[in-house]
Structures are given as structure tokens and as C-alpha cells.
Amino acid sequence: MNSFSVGDLAHTYTLQRRSAALKTQMSHLGNELSTGQISDKRAVFSANIDHIMDIEADLKALEGYKVAVTEATQFSQAIQIALERVDTSVGNLATTLFAMSPHATEPVMEQFSAEAEAELTTIVSALNTKLGGRFLFSGKATDRPALADVSNILDGLRDAVVGATTIEEISARANAWFNNTSGFTSAVYSGDISELSGFRLSKGEVVHVQTTANSQVFRDTIKHIAIAAISSDSALGLDINDQRTLVQDAGKRLFDSRTDLTALLGTIGSAQSRIDVVSTRNSNKESALMMTKAALLSADPFEAATKLEAVQFQLQSLYTVTAKMAEMSFLNYMR
Amino acid sequence: MTISSALNSAMSGLRAATRASELVSSNIANVMTPGYARRTLSLSSAVTGAASGVRIDGVQRHMDAQVVGDLRVASSEFSYRTNTSAFLSRLERLFGAADQPDSLSGRLAEFEKNLITASSRPDAPERLDILAMTARDLSVSINTVSDGIQASRIQAESSITQQVTRLNNALRGVQKLNISITATAAKQSPTAAFLDQRRALIDEINEIVPVRVVERDHGAVALFSTGGSILLDGRAANIGFEAKKTITAHMSLENGMLSGLTIDGFPAGASSGSGRMNGGRLGAEFEIRDTLAPSAQVQMDALARDLIERFESTDVDPTFVSGNPGLFTDSGSGFDPMAEVGLASRLALNPIVDPTKDGESWRLRDGLSANARGSTGDATLLNAWADALTTPRSQPSSSLGPSALSAAGVFASITSQVVSDRMREDQLLSFTSAQFHELTNLELSNGVDTDVELQNLMVIEQAYAANARVIEAVDQMFNTLLRI
């Protein structure tokens, strides 16, 4: 350290460095003020990188789950509507058939058969509902309709019971055909036997909203209606009493089916409420994460404005000092 | 005593004043030159007979060797840290900012999100296509980071070549200046200009490799690197280096595929860490090429390996055949534990599902080796892919720690390592920078102060005038004598 002279360059060096530092600080603060986000994000990242990456990953996943939740909701609603149609049909038919007069004549029986066939058509079309390009009741084969034509069902049943003479035999053969995998399942059901996988709505949260047209409740329902539909077939050659018994029996059993259908509707309903719960939970989580992220990365405008004022003042003082020091040269005082 | 001796004294005074004003003007001319040592005239009273006059002893260079020495140490340290910290910052930028979707971890999150949406509608071909593209984007971003690391090594290699050339030129320059200084000193001429030049060259060398300056006879100096190599002792050493045009991950100094420095043909040993030519810009480039970049590459390879291995299992894809590639591949083949080095650059999405390579995205749903399309609503495999990513697995690579990590955990672990390394290096840099700037300031304050020079000029002016007056008076005395 020289007590005799201080080099000129030393002054300018320090002043220049200081002014550069202050100007950088000012531009950062100006950025923060205008964008509302911290301009030196790297400093925040250094301290919180794991936390921030977690938040980002979770937010992205929640975006995906939002889509899944919407689709699950639509799917379950569509299934519910279809099931309600089936239920209504079954209910109407059950009432009609059960209330059949014990003295019904041949033409009346034929009319009942026709009605049964009509309701079966409604039910089959309900079970073949398509939503957004996929069939709802076909299990994993969402590109194929669940059930074949009504005529296929009735013809299949007719082939199965041909040659049967008594009602018991007809019932037994019908049961066999409907419950046999090579019967109804392969001839009529064109979907996949395995159900659609559950909907993944959140980490570890899977909601099953499924039932295929091949499940027991539908097979039984269709079986009863189909039997009623073919009961007045001339090929079967049943006498009028047998026909009446068959039809009334069908009606009675359809009431039982309705109980099963109601239970199924209940399952769908509870799945729907589960979806709602998960959806709400997901939105809350999303809001909380966004707030945490904002807290980490956003800049307080008041703080930024105050700092900016301070830095501005410092820079102005620096400029004044620089100018003054330039004046203080012996050269100016020599002559 | 005699009039002529008075004249002589006055003449010597004039000479001294002239020389002094020369120096003052030289000082003022160099007020903006950094590293310029302020010159002053050293005078003593002449001892000739009856003692009269002033003798110019010589030009004194005011240089605080202590400060210069400390500044050199700080300067090479600063140069070293600037370069290593620049590399780590670049590496961090390759990984991307954590809150941006195009960062490495952002791409993984996007892939996981698309697995969720595809699982919700496995029958939608556009969802499967997007899923395949996202998987491809992920593998490409891993490739980019790995390629960036190798590009840094190539950059370091070419920088080393440049620095070595500069170093050799500077050493030869110092050698020549040593000779000039010795010769000039022998002729009793001022050597200040040469000394300044030599100092500038030594500062340049010091930035490349930190040096220790040792005085030798007759004004010459010898230069040693702080690690102990002789750079210049009488004769300048010739530093050699063989650059490679391309560098890939498996090339290293240890296996002989990359070269180190040679001094006069003999290998100088490792230049990174505690080698003999460590420190300074050269040391930093070697550190980047041989230590920092390769360790980053090892991390990336471990990440790529983890990603590939997660999907190479029949638990995930029942159609998987051992030995065949899984969802992610090593350039289209399965993973080979012997070929982990550089894996991150070769990571690729299995071309069988890659839409840019005529792949079919339905295989993401039905199995990579499936013979035909399966049920369109089957989300089992898609869910299995998603689970494979979130299941914690213990890492074969020890650099990722002992605990089991999910895929996101691996990415997070590596990213946070990079960030904390950069942060630590930044702290070291800011400390070194503060030291360097402090010492530079100190050194600059030993430079030229125009106020002092101008004050001296006033004194010199007066001295010159007074001496001239004396000569005038002596001349009058002579004339008076002659008129007798």
C-alpha cells in the first residue's frame, strides 16, 4: 500500500464495477416488477429443486387425471342412462306379461310375443350404446357392438329348443344355451368377455364402472324375454295353456331381474359418486400446488418496487461521485 | 569551486531535470495502461573531486512484488473457476429449468401424463400416437443432454490446443526478453520497457498455467508452474498436445484414447486435480474434459439404463422376450450391461412403436411383440407402463444412492446433483472473484497518479528554470572575466 500516490485506474476500476453491478440489479428488479415472477429463478431452484420438480410432476399428472375424470364421468353417466332404459323396458314388459288374463287367446299370445320382441329390440339397442366411438357394454372390445341382432338371439334360442316338447325341457334347454359359453356368449355376444379396466383417476385410485352385456343379469333378462317372444311360435307347437304358463312365468321372473338391475344401477351410482369425490380432491390438490408454486416463484411487487427505489438512489449517488472525482484533478488547478 | 565546475553542476542538473520530465511524460502517457509500473528517476549527488552536481543513478520501477505475486495466484484461480463454473452452468441449462415443460424432468412428466390419458381411452389411436411421440421426445431430450456433455469435451479439447499455442509463444517471448534485458543491462541502458513487456507476458502465461517467478542472474527470470514443472529456465520448454477431432463417451485419458500435455516430449502427468500443470485456464479445461464432463456422462448413462431396464421385463409387457429390446432401446437393441458407457446418447424409442420410423403405436397398448391388434379397450399394458415408471427400484449405479427410486426420483436426484454442484462452484467463484478484484484494485492503486505526476512536473519545471538561470549567471561571469 503506497501512502504516496494512488493510481488513477484504481478509482475508475471500482466505480465501473459498482455501476455495472447496480445496473444489473436494477434490470432484474425491473423484470420482477413487470412480470411478477422472480427474475433470478436459479437461486430459488438451487434451494428447492426437489420440491419444485415434485410440484411440476404432480401438476402434469393432474392434467392427465382431469381428462380421465371427465371421460369416466361421461362413461358412467351414459351407462346409467342405458341401464335405466333397460330397466324401464323390463318393467313395462314385466307388468304387461304378469297381468295377462288366464283366458288369453291365441292372437293375444301372439301379441304378447310381438311385444316381448319389441322390448327386446329396445334392450339390445340400449346395450349396444356407443359413446364417443366406443361401445359401453362390450368389455375390452370397445370397437365392437355388444350384442347381435334380436333375430340372431331368437333364432339361436329357437335352434337350441327345437324338438323340446314340455315347458320344463324348453326352460332347461334355454338355460343351457344362455349359460353355455358356446351358446349365447359366442353366438350373440360379440364383445370381449373381460371387463374394461378400471379408470385410473388419481395416484392409487381406480374406479370400476363396468359391466358387460354378457353378465348374468342381462343374460337372464334377455333369456326370459326371448322365451316369451318365441312362446307363440307355431314351430314349437305348444298348446295354449303351456303358452300362457310360459309367458306368465317370464313376467314373474322379469320382476326378479328388475331387482338385479336396480342393484346394478346402485353400483354404477356409487361409482359415480366416487368419481365426483376424486374429482373434487384432484381440483383441491391442483389449487394447493399452484399456490405453493406461486409462493416460491412469484415476486412481491411492493418489495421489488422498494428495492428498485433504493438501487436507483445508489446508482444516482454513484454517478454524482464519479463526476465529482473527475473534477478533482490537479490539472484543473494548475493554471 | 571553479566556474567550470559550477557550469558542470548546472548542466548535470539540466540533464537530470530533462530525464525526469521524460519519465513524467512516459508515466502520464501510460496512465491508462494496466500493469504499467510507475517510473521515477533515482538521483544521488555526484562524487567527483570537489563534490558537485547530480548523478542519475537510474530509473526506478515501482512495483510491489508481493501484490503482483498475490494477484497472479488470484488471477489464475479466478480463470480456473470461471471456466469450470461456466461448464456447470451450461450443464444445468442442458437439463432445463425445472418449471419448464421442455426440461428433462418436464418431458418425463409429459410422458407420464399421456400414459394416464391413453389409459383412459386406449381405443383412441390419436392418444396412442401422442403417447409414442412423447416417449420419443423424452429419449431425444436425454440424447441432447448427453451430446451436449460430449460437445463440451470437444470444446475443451480445442480450447486446450489454443491455450498451449499461446503458452508456447509466450514462453518463447519471455526467453527472448530475458536475453534482451541481460544485454541491455550490460550496456547500462534502461531496461524498464522490456521489464514491463516481460511482466505482461508472464501475466498471460499465469492465466493459462499458474507460475512462480524466480530471479536469475543479470535480470533474467525462470518460470515454474506451481505444480513443479519447469517452464522456462534459460531455455523455454516446449509444451505439446495432440487434439482429437471428435470425442465420444468411451474415450478418456486413462485408457489412452485422449492425450495429456507433454513437456519437451515427456508426459506431464494429469493436468486436472493435483497434477503438475494444474490450475489456470488449462487446468480448468482438462478438469472439464477428464473429470466434470465424464462424471456427468456417468449420471446420464445411469438414468438411461434405469429407463431401459424398467421396461425390459415380462412383468410389464407379457410379450417381452428376453434379449429383445423393450420400450426404450440402445439404438434399437436390448440393454447390454457391458455397454453402459455413452448409453445416454444411444437411447432410442423402440422403432416398432416410433411413428417417425414407420412404427405402430397400437403396440403400446397390445404389446411390443404382439402378432395382431388386441382388444381396443384394454388398458392393462398402458397401466403397466405407468406403474413401471412409478415403482421404486434400487439403482445399480452407486452414484444415485442406495435407496430405491421411481423414474421421476432418478431424474430429480440427478438434476438436483447438477444444480447443487453448480451452486457450490458459483460460491467458490464469487469468493475467488472478490479476492481477485480486491487485489486488482490494490495493484492498480500502485499505478500512475496524474495528480502526483503533475505536481512533480511543476517541481521539475522549477528545477530546470533554476539550473538554466545558473548557467546564464555563469555565462555572465565568464563574459566579465573575458572583458578584463
Nearest CA distance, B86 vs chain A (angstrom): 14
Sign of CA dihedral B44, B48, B51, B53: negative
3-class DSSP assignment, residue B450? helix
Sequence-distant (6+) residues with CB within 8 A of B111 are B131, B134, B135, B137, B138, B389
Q: Is A24 on the interface with B (CB under 8 A)?
A: no
Contact A134 B64 (CB under 8 A): no
Q: Is A133 on the interface with B (CB under 8 A)?
A: yes
Mean pLDDT calculated for residue range A83-103: 89
Residues 221-260 of A with CB under 8 A from B: none
Sign of CA dihedral B100, B105, B111, B115: negative
Least confident of A38-52, A112-126, B248-262, B263-277: B263-277
Residue % of chain A over a pLDDT of 90: 43
Report the alpha-carbon distance of residue A11 to residue B182 in Å, rounded.
36
Closest CA to A112 of A128, A131, A93: A93
Identify the pLDDT of residue B189. 84
Closest CA to B263 of B128, B160, B164: B164
Q: Is B35 on the interface with A (CB under 8 A)?
A: no
- Residue A153 scores a pLDDT above 80: yes
Q: Is B115 on the interface with A (CB under 8 A)?
A: yes
Contact criterion met (CB below 8 Å) for A154 and A226? yes
Tracing cell 484504481 back to the chain, one arrives at A10
Contact A53 B124 (CB under 8 A): no
Mean pLDDT calculated for residue range A225-252: 85
Chain B residue with the nearest C-alpha to that of A296: B99
Encoded amino acid at B282, one letter: L
CA quadruple A273, A278, A284, A288: dihedral, nearest 10: 170
Residues from chain A contacting residue B105 (CB–CB below 8 Å): 53, 56-57
Question: What are the grid coordinates assigned to B169, written together?
Answer: 509463444
Tracing cell 351410482 back to the chain, one arrives at A269
Size of interface A-B (CB pairs under 8 A): 165
Residues from chain B contacting residue A71 (CB–CB below 8 Å): 120-121
- Residue A2 scores a pLDDT above 70: no
**What ipTM does the predicted assembly reach?**
0.88
* Number of Cα atoms under 13 Å in the Cβ half of residue B461: 8
- pLDDT per 10-residue tile (average), chain B, 484 residues: 83 94 94 88 79 84 90 95 96 91 94 94 92 95 96 95 96 96 90 91 95 92 91 93 90 88 83 73 93 94 92 85 88 88 94 90 89 86 92 83 89 92 94 95 90 94 95 92 86
Per-residue CA distances from B351 to B327, B354, B357, B369 (Å): 9, 5, 6, 12
Report the alpha-carbon distance of residue B391 to residue B404 in Å, rounded.
9
Chain B residue with the nearest C-alpha to that of A329: B451
Residues from chain B contacting residue A63 (CB–CB below 8 Å): 113
**How many other β-carbons are positioned within 10 Å of the β-carbon of residue A207?**
21
Contact A197 B419 (CB under 8 A): no
Q: Is B422 on the interface with A (CB under 8 A)?
A: yes
3-state helix, strand, coil in chain B (%, to 5): 60, 10, 30
Identify the pLDDT of residue A88. 92
Which of the four pLDDT bands, split at 50, 70 and 90, describes residue A210? confident
Closest CA to B307 of B468, B164, B157, B111: B111
Chain B residue with the nearest C-alpha to that of A13: B441
Report the alpha-carbon distance of residue A81 to residue A87 in Å, rounded.
10
Closest CA to A75 of A219, A206, A199: A199
Nearest CA distance, B236 vs chain A (angstrom): 33
Contact criterion met (CB below 8 Å) for B270 and B282? no
Mean pLDDT of chain A: 89
Q: Is A68 on the interface with B (CB under 8 A)?
A: yes
Closest CA to B353 of B193, B139, B76: B139
Report the alpha-carbon distance of residue B165 to residue B167 in Å, rounded.
5
Identify the pLDDT of residue A193. 85
3-class DSSP assignment, residue A90? helix
Q: Which helix (H) or strand (E) holds B59?
A: strand B54-62
Contact A7 B445 (CB under 8 A): yes
Report the alpha-carbon distance of residue B262 to residue B253 in Å, rounded.
13
Global confidence as pTM? 0.88
Sequence-distant (6+) residues with CB within 8 A of B46 are B9, B12, B52, B53, B54, B55
Q: Is A99 on the interface with B (CB under 8 A)?
A: no
Mean pLDDT calculated for residue range A313-334: 90
